[in-house]
A = this chain, B = another copy of it.
Amino acid sequence: MDQSLNASARNVQDFSRLVNPRAVAVVGASNDLSRIGGQPLKLLTEFGFKGKVYPVNPKYPEIKGLTCYKDIASVPKPCDVALVALSSNHVLSVIEQLGAAGIPFAIVLSAGFSEVGGEGIELQRKLVETAKRAGVRLIGPNCLGMLNLHDNARIGFGGTVQLKTLIPGPCAMVTQSGGFGFGVVATAAYYGVGFNYAISTGNEADISMLELAEFFLERKENDSIMLFMEGITDGRRLIALGERALELGKPVLVWKVGNTDVGRQAAASHTARMTASYELFQSAFRHGGFIEVRDMDDLIDVMKVQRTKRVPKGNRVGVITLSGGAGVLIADRCIEHGLDLPKLTDPTTAQLKELVVSYASVANPVDATANGYNDAFASYNRVIAAVIADPNIDQVIARSPRGSAAPAWSRAFIEIANATDKPVILNWPTSPDDNADVMKLLEENNVPCILSPGRTVRALASLNEFAQKQQAHAKRPRKTATRPTEKQALNLPAGSGTLGEHRSKQALAAYGIPVVKEVLLSADDVAKLKEPPLPFPLVVKIESADIPHKTEAGVVRLNIRTLDELNAAARDVLAAANKHDSKARIDGVLVQEMASGLEVLIGAVNDRFFGPVVVFGLGGIYTELLKDITRRFAPFDEATAREMIDDIKSAALLHGFRGQPALDVDALAAALSRVSLLIADHADRIAEIDVNPIFVHPAGQGVVAADALVVLKDKA
């Protein structure tokens, strides 16, 4: 494996020759350098690319002083990448020729594949087949190519890739929208933020966003990666990427779009990209090494603070300003983002009192007042140094001063900021042109300067979010943790469809999830009863795979207290079932003990992109109206289940709300973990599980599922 990859990198496809080729063949080269076949020649010769460039076009002997080859077979070896800029009907034969010539990678700019639908879809299918046969891996089609600013290899086309202002930096972008993504690279450069790489993946017929992301994450020159994502189909691979990011301490900045129905339709109409619901992406982002960004400013600010490579030890922030108003504002935003503004220690407070005027505030946030301007900010720097040194403080936000004394101040400040390993961030008080040289000097010396106070806090919060996830990840037991139960055989009927309640509960019981005591009887059995099959009070329900919504169908009777009532109820529900759906297959009458406790629901779905996911909430209005639910990818252990329980806003109800007893959270966590194993072990057959309600009893007294529904799918 390449030396530029992390030593611990596992199972990662090595794309080093793709992103930094020894030579590039430009297939369909044009001598008009403004055209799509000409632009790459300009880009590869005028921006310092060190590899060789081989134009291919039988029409010309040379272009721009470069020998032009009549066909791909004539191109000298070694050649690692072919840029294909021909119309779609020529692409398949080119790929075959690349295979024959031993050129391993193609970047296919050509449009006219799956994004146009109909015949384009078929053409793309053939392209994939051809590439596989030829042994060629390809980027695209329908993409804008690649920017490698680390090695000056710009292999693509478009206006933005030709800008001289673009700068490299320790981040690699993979973008599903080339036009937008390359625009981001240009904008970031203006704010001093660079990218080593940016690849536009187009239709992803072969090489996917995630495959490239995995590779870039392992590259030593990248401290982070950034994904502009419309959709992906392999949710589990995304989750694994997030775990690897935590292991490496390199965040994956993700800008996900297509999150609303309207946005999703727009994404589908422009790249025919299908995708899972945004909620599942958010779950993946929240628990893995991702930082979700939502706008250009977000991205730039997060990159500025991330590149300092400082990791806050805790969430305690010291804030220092020259204006009370700014301190109040920053304090508010810190609290809103879950950061803490603790008291400074007494020695620090005493020290500050000697440094500032009497009407200054030495509490956190510290307001040194405009009086800080009176000594060219010498005392202001001492104030900042004192706060940084305070053991109660993990990181600092300071408002930078402005005016003619700022340059001298900044040189002294840089020494202070670099004498600590705590994150130190400046909030720039005015516009980027005000003392622009000072900002440049500060940022060159590892001090991020963020515009706007709110944005400053948001950026710092992202640093804390990642640090906290990294710390939690380091503490978490590895995947080898023992399962609470082995995989169980379930004896499921063939085909898709709904299991009846009794059979659904048998599946739960097989996984050790407590269910209410119940017996399945025929109407005749019930009529012959001399004594109740279970102690009164009882519940009677119809058992039918064809009537999944029993309450709505009127086939449930509660609180039955005598044998006569039981008999009547059995007849009642059979009649009601017949009335509801005379064709429904009836498996009998289900007689259950009455259960009570706090009602919660455990659901599970087998998402076609993310695989099995478990949902937890209080059910009813809490789930439907208040959306107070949480999700985790299955399987997971009881510790994760406990985190899940505490995720919901109404969690206090389980821990003893308003003097009520604390409930059996341990038993609930066990049930959640077991449901996650049930669906994960049988993901080939189980499409959905709905355990609703499951009653939670006081601590030590367990939980019991009162109703359940398992939906099967055909084996794939």
A interface residues with partner B (beta carbon < 8 Å):
111-112, 115-116, 144, 158-160, 175-181, 183, 186-187, 189-191, 228, 230, 257-263, 265-267, 269-271, 294-297, 322-329, 331-332, 334-336, 341, 358-359, 361, 363, 365, 367, 370, 373, 402-403, 429-434, 451-455, 552, 621-622, 625-626, 628, 649-650, 652-653, 657, 659
Q: For residue A649, which residues in chain B have a CB less than 8 angstroms away from its CB?
A: 625-626
Give the residues in chain B near A258, CB-CB below 8 Å.
Answer: 328, 332
- A265 x B177 contact (CB < 8 A): no
CA distance A452 to B180 in the complex (A): 11
Copies in the complex: 2
Q: Return A501 CB to nearest CB of chain B, in Å.
A: 20
In the complex, 21 of the A-B residue pairs with CB atoms within 8 angstroms, ordered by the A residue number, are: A112-B359, A178-B323, A179-B322, A179-B323, A180-B329, A183-B402, A186-B430, A187-B434, A257-B328, A257-B329, A258-B332, A259-B332, A262-B331, A262-B332, A266-B328, A266-B331, A269-B361, A269-B363, A270-B361, A297-B451, A626-B649
Asked whether B625 lies within 8 Å of A230 as measured between CB atoms, the reply is no
Chain B residues with Cβ under 8 A from A358's Cβ? 116
Look across to chain B and name the residue whose beta carbon is closest to the beta carbon of A322: B179
Given contacts A179-B324, A294-B454, 18 further A-B contacts (CB under 8 A): A116-B358, A158-B370, A159-B402, A160-B430, A175-B325, A179-B322, A179-B325, A187-B429, A187-B430, A257-B325, A262-B341, A270-B328, A295-B453, A295-B454, A295-B455, A296-B453, A552-B659, A622-B626
Q: Which residue of B lies closest to A297 (CB)?
A: B452
Which residues of B sit under 8 angstroms from A433, Cβ to Cβ? 190
Please report the C-alpha to C-alpha distance between residue A116 and residue B269 in the assembled complex, in whole angstroms. 63
- Would B159 and A325 count as touching, CB distance under 8 A? no
Chain B neighbourhood of A262, CB < 8 A = 331-332, 334-335, 341
Please name all residues of chain B whose beta carbon is closer than 8 Å to the beta carbon of A653 when the two chains form the complex. 621, 625
In the complex, are the beta carbons of A324 and B650 less than 8 A apart? no
A618 to chain B, nearest CB (A): 9
> Shortest 7 CB-CB distances between A and B: which pairs?
A177-B325, A270-B324, A179-B323, A190-B431, A295-B454, A180-B325, A263-B332
Using CB atoms, name the residue of chain B closest to A183.
B429
Q: How far is the CA of A326 from the CA of B429 in the complex (A)?
A: 30
Measured between beta carbons, the chain B residues less than 8 angstroms from A625 are 649-650, 652-653, 657
Instruction: Indicate if the CB atoms of B269 and A359 lie closer than 8 Å.
Output: no
Q: Are A176 and B325 in contact (CB under 8 A)?
A: yes
A195 → chain B closest CB, angstroms: 14
Bound Cα distance A341, B261 (Å): 11
